[in-house]
Amino acid sequence: MAPRIANSAADAVAEISDGSTILIGGFGNAGQPMELIDALMECGATDLTVVNNNAGQADAGLALLIKERRVKKIICSFPRQSDSWHFDEAYRAGDIELELVPQGNLAERIRAAGAGIGGFFTPTGYGTLLAEGKETRTIDGIGYVLETPIHADFALIKALKADTFGNLVYRKTARNFGPIMATAAKAAIVQVDEVVEVGSIDPEHVITPGIYVDTVVALGGEK
C-alpha cells in the first residue's frame, strides 16, 4: 500500500501517543528529522522511550523533548557531549533512564528488529561493563555477547526525497540510521524535501524501498 502523504509535520506525527517507543534518526544534526521532532513536542505525547545515537544537542529537537521531561528512557550510544546540557540535567536529577549501547550494537539491534532476527552474538562489548548480566558464548575462540532486537512503535526519519510509493533517497552522511530505523518500527514517518512522482527515482538508486514507509511529509529543502 502506498504511504499516506501527510499535509504537515503535525499531521504526520498525529498518531503518536503516550508511552510510545520511537526510533529517531540522525547522527548529531545530520539526518535528524528536526521538524518531526518539533511536531512531536507540539502534539504533547509523553512518557516516551526514544532511541537515537545521541541524547540531543543544544536547545533544539530531541534536547527539548528531554528538557520538557517527555522522555522517560533513552537508548543511545553517546549521550554526553559538550552541548548535551538538557540530558545531563535530566540524568543527574534521576528523571531519565539511560540504556547505553555501543554504537554498532545499537545499529545491529535495530537492523535485527527489522529483519526478524531474535538476537545475535556480537564481539563488541565482550568483557566490558556494558555486557554485564548478558549471555555470552565463545565461538572459535572469540568471546561474544548476546544482543536482542530493538523494536519500536514509530520511526521518525529524514530523507532527501520520496516518491509517492514511499521509495526513499538520502543525502550523504545524513543517511546514517534512516534505512535501518525505517525497517524496525510498526510505522515509519519520513520527512523529505520533496515528494516526486512514481517512476522519477531510478529503481537502482532507491535506498529504502517503500514497503517500509508508512507516512511521508514534504517540507521543502534549503538546498
Contact footprint for another protein (CB under 8 A): 27-31, 53, 77-81, 88, 91-92, 98, 100-105, 107-108, 110-111, 122-130, 143, 170-180, 207
Answer whether 26's CB lies under 8 Å from 177's CB. yes
Nearer to another protein, 70 or 175 (CB): 175
CA distances from 74 to 49, 55, 119 (A): 6, 7, 20
Q: Coil, helix or strand for 214?
A: coil
CB of 159 to another protein, least distance (A): 11
Nearer to another protein, 3 or 102 (CB): 102
CB of 42 to another protein, least distance (A): 23
CB of 154 to another protein, least distance (A): 18
CB of 131 to another protein, least distance (A): 9
Nearer to another protein, 13 or 174 (CB): 174
For residue 189, the cross-strand partners are 156, 215
CB of 143 to another protein, least distance (A): 7
Hunting for cell 514534504 — which residue is that?
Answer: 218
Nearer to another protein, 43 or 98 (CB): 98
Q: Coil, helix or strand for 81?
A: coil
Nearer to another protein, 100 or 195 (CB): 100
- The helices-and-strands tally (H runs, E runs) of the chain is 6, 14
Nearer to another protein, 11 or 83 (CB): 83
The cell for 31 is: 539526518
Phi, psi dihedral angles at 216 (to 5 degrees): -130, 140
Cα angle value 38/113/171 (rounded, 5°): 50
CB of 174 to another protein, least distance (A): 4
Alpha-carbon distance 95 to 129, whole Å? 23
Phi, psi dihedral angles at 121 (to 5 degrees): -100, 120
Residues whose CB falls within 8 Å of the CB of residue 205, separated by 6 or more in sequence, listed in order: 169
CB of 223 to another protein, least distance (A): 9
Nearer to another protein, 2 or 146 (CB): 146
